[in-house]
Amino acid sequence: MKKIALALLSAGLLVSAVAHAGPEDDRKQLVNYFKVKHGTIKFDDYVHGALAMDKDAKSQYDSIMEFPPFEGVVDAGKEMWEKPFKNGKTFASCFPNGGKNVAGNYPYFDDKLGKVVTFEMAINQCLKDNGEQEFKYGDVNTMGILTAYARTLSDGMRMNVKVSGPAALVAYEAGKDHFFRRRGQLNFSCASCHVDNAGNRIRSEVLSPSLGQATHWPVFRGGENLVTIQSRFVGCNKQVRAVPFAVGSEEYNNLEYYLSYMSNGLPMKASVFRK
């Protein structure tokens, strides 16, 4: 495994992700980094992303969430979730507890398949197992709308992603490598914005912290504009002028695996408003 060093200048610390450091060590180091750098922010508040670092934006968010403009989209997702398949079953039949408090266990590494399985992949497997046509991974009008509701069934659940076994660790390390690797014409990594400069402004926007980034998707930007976590990966890559990977690719699945593990212990909250 490659050694990845991240200079945490604001805290005066150096986190060295050496081969001997495991996922839980990585997570604790990240939590401690943000605790030192942003000590006034409570741990659970990191589910709010950049809003936790901007009181005015958080106040606006609270007002909008009283009567979310995207409620109709979430309701449409509920209809999809509850609509019977041709065999009479529903999506709820594919998940423990009818899909309640399960999304926080995703992604997970499937040793039989030899790859990371996301919540969206599990939904497509459900469709396949019931003789239905699978959704396109990045289609917001099917997979996006469905998960906009399905993930709300796990609101309040603490993220509980596991990295167990050597193959799972390889996938986790690949996701971590992606997060810290510089790319694109601007030579930025994910960490450049979401660790080193989290809380700072780029133009008029506050850069969100990586801690908690996997807890609140999909998000709605400016009304009913639905954005999934992996479509946001695409957007970030484009912003640093790098060629993005495909939504649902192994690269992005591994990145989501890493980020989700980093959010372990935080409560989930979907679907939410973002600027």
How many whole angstroms separate alpha carbon 12 and alpha carbon 113? 42
Q: Which residue has the tokens 């009008």?
A: 141
Whether 31 shows a pLDDT value over 90: the answer reads yes
How many whole angstroms separate alpha carbon 37 and alpha carbon 52? 13
Q: What is the pLDDT of residues 59-108, one digit of tens each?
A: 999 999 999 999 999 999 999 999 999 999 999 999 999 999 999 999 99
Q: Tokens representing 20?
A: 């001997």
Residues 6 or more apart from 166 whose CB is under 8 A from it? Answer: none
Q: Tokens representing 269?
A: 């909250």
Whether 3 shows a pLDDT value over 60: the answer reads no
- Among residues 103, 200, 91, which one has the least CA distance to residue 160? 103
Residue 34: exposure state from Cβ atoms within 10 A (0-12, 13-18, ≥19): buried
Whether 226 shows a pLDDT value over 80: the answer reads yes
Q: Which residue is catalytic, options 31, 127, 236, 242?
A: 236
Q: What is the predicted pLDDT for the residue at 205?
A: 84
Q: What is the predicted pLDDT for the residue at 202?
A: 83
Q: What is the predicted pLDDT for the residue at 256?
A: 98
pTM: 0.91
Whether 254 shows a pLDDT value over 80: the answer reads yes
**Pick the residue with more confidence: 55 or 102?**
102
How many whole angstroms separate alpha carbon 256 and alpha carbon 176? 9
Residues 6 or more apart from 59 whose CB is under 8 A from it? Answer: none
3-state secondary structure (DSSP) of residue 85? coil
3-state secondary structure (DSSP) of residue 201? strand
Whether 265 shows a pLDDT value over 50: the answer reads yes
Q: What is the pLDDT of residues 132-187, one digit of tens each?
A: 999 999 899 999 999 999 999 999 999 999 999 999 999 999 999 999 999 999 99
Q: How far is CA 127 from the centre of its chain?
A: 23
**Pick the residue with more confidence: 140 or 6?**
140
Q: What is the predicted pLDDT for the residue at 12?
A: 38
Q: What is the predicted pLDDT for the residue at 216?
A: 94
How many whole angstroms separate alpha carbon 223 and alpha carbon 226? 8
How many whole angstroms separate alpha carbon 56 and alpha carbon 226? 23
- Radius of gyration of the chain from Cα atoms? 18
Would you place residue 20 in the very low, low, confident or very high pLDDT band (cuts 50, 70, 90)? low
Q: Could you give the number of structural domains in the chain? A: 1
Boundaries of domain holding 65: 1-275
Q: What is the predicted pLDDT for the residue at 223?
A: 76
Query: Are β-strands 115-117 and 272-274 bridged in parallel, bridged antiparallel, or unpaired?
Result: unpaired
Q: What is the predicted pLDDT for the residue at 102?
A: 98
> Average pLDDT, stretch 211-234?
93
Ramachandran angles phi, psi of 177, nearest 5°: -60, -40
Task: Report the chain's mean pLDDT, rounded to a whole number.
Answer: 91
For this structure, is 77 an active site residue?
Answer: no
**What CATH code is carried by the domain that includes residue 63?**
1.10.760.10
Question: Which residues make up each annotated binding site?
Answer: 94, 126, 190, 193-194, 232, 236
Residues 6 or more apart from 32 whose CB is under 8 A from it? Answer: none
Q: What is the predicted pLDDT for the residue at 11?
A: 36
Q: What is the predicted pLDDT for the residue at 153?
A: 98
Question: Which residues make up each annotated binding site for substrate?
Answer: 232
Question: Which residues make up each annotated binding site for heme c?
Answer: 94, 126, 190, 193-194, 236
Q: Are 166 and 174 in contact (CB under 8 A)?
A: no
- Among residues 213, 222, 90, which one has the least CA distance to residue 146? 90
